[in-house]
Structure 1
Amino acid sequence: MTETFDDAPGLVRIEITAADLDTAKKAAERIAGFWLSSPSPLRRIPGNDGVLVRVHADIARSPDEGGYLPPEDDPGA
């Protein structure tokens, strides 16, 4: 994922920090239950305990209109 972000209306970027990979992944998947979303790959935070995942979500569309895309299937992640 790049640091740039498409600021089109309805798009948001949510950063999730969790103590472990499983928790971060579950949080990203739960967000997908509300909006069309695509998480970035999970990564460790240098110098910190924990992991980070960024989720791009289109709050103008529901998951029924596209659903959750795992990072490996998202060309923009």
Structure 2
Amino acid sequence: AVELAPIRVNAVSPGVVRTNLWQSMSAPERERLYESVGKSLPVGRVGEAHDVAQAYLFLMQEGLSTGQTVVVDGGTVLV
């Protein structure tokens, strides 16, 4: 971020999110994964694409943040 200033450089770090990334797993396996991971998280569920999109929107609209990583993982880092 310092080297590229005044361009703002930020990142979003998602946890487990319901996406096509998991298509190699069968539908029942995916649901078991989502349920198991979701139960282990403080928020009680895995992420959805809109959860991650909201983090990107925040970073794009908020003009003062740079050099930040926004973690959107449902609290994974807490457990």
Please indicate the TM-score interval, normalised by the length of the shorter structure.
under 0.3
Larger Rg: 2
| Larger strand proportion of the pair | 1
Structure with more contact order per residue of length (Cα contacts < 8 Å, sep ≥ 6): 2
TM-score of the aligned structures, taking structure 1 as reference length: 0.25
TM-score of the aligned structures, taking structure 2 as reference length: 0.24
| Larger helix proportion of the pair | 2
